A and B are shown apart, each in its own frame.
Chain A
Amino acid sequence: DTGVSQDPRHKITKRGQNVTFRCDPISEHNRLYWYRQTLGQGPEFLTYFQNEAQLEKSRLLSDRFSAERPKGSFSTLEIQRTEQGDSAMYLCASTPGGRQPQHFGDGTRLSIL
């Protein structure tokens, strides 16, 4: 049973550049969540997919952020025109649904220079 996989593990970029992260959930998990964690805080919800449908987006997700989950498999999170405040750990989690616990990947750490 492979876990949730995230790529890359670390991304360093200059302010103003676009970045894209990928998440591969556990096979057959139809729910996929993105969270963001900054230093000293717990993870904060960003967005949620059920299969390929994006069903909820947080107010934290500005119009520079976009997420997709084509065919209900892997998901991508893109940030356009990155800003210093985007520096954070971006976590992906998946679950079969219902009250099954979410399983997290090891995250992508984004550093903005």
Chain B
Amino acid sequence: DQQVKQNSPSLSVQEGRISILNCDYTNSMFDYFLWYKKYPAEGPTFLISISSIKDKNEDGRFTVFLNKSAKHLSLHIVPSQPGDSAVYFCAGVGSNYKLTFGKGTLLTVNP
């Protein structure tokens, strides 16, 4: 039973354009969500978070949107840069603040 789904295994965008990564969840008990970025041979690095009482959180080039009624999140990166190329994981926060991750989306930003 996959509680967090990232249905796009990969995404390719041009440098300077917008990258939109999507995430759906089924567990209504999640009240907090995080996005992590992962480079090969490194651990996940925290990117941005959002509480379920908000519908948007922005940090520089990164914005996360939450549609609670649709149980859907998206991460927008504007403008995309080649250094953003990585695997992006969406995670829901459950009891004891443990994270439930999606399978990830590989973002490739082409120069």
Contact = CB atoms under 8 A, between A and B. Distances in A.
B103 A104 contact: no
A41 B103 contact: yes
A79 interface: no
A103 interface: yes
A42 B49 contact: no
Interface of B: 4, 6, 32, 34, 36, 41-46, 49, 51, 89, 91, 93, 95-104
B97 A56 contact: no
Contacts of A41: 103
Nearest to B32: A99
B33 to A, nearest CB: 11
Given A99-B32, A101-B34, A101-B49, A43 B97 contact: no
Contact of A106 (B41, B49, B98, B99): B41
Given A98-B97, A101-B34, A42 B43 contact: no
A91 B44 contact: yes
B46 to A, nearest CB: 4
A40 to B, nearest CB: 7
Contacts, number: 58
Interface string A55-67: 1100000000000
A42 B98 contact: no
A99 B41 CA distance: 26
Contacts of B91: 42
B98 A107 contact: no
Nearest to B46: A101
* 9 tightest A-B CB contacts, nearest first: A42-B101, A104-B43, A101-B46, A45-B98, A106-B43, A104-B44, A43-B101, A56-B96, A105-B43
A93 B34 CA distance: 14
Given A40-B103, A42-B89, A42-B104, A103 B46 contact: yes
24 contacts: A31-B97, A33-B98, A40-B103, A42-B4, A42-B6, A42-B102, A42-B103, A43-B44, A43-B89, A43-B99, A44-B101, A45-B99, A45-B100, A56-B95, A56-B96, A91-B43, A93-B43, A98-B97, A99-B49, A99-B51, A104-B36, A104-B45, A106-B41, A106-B43
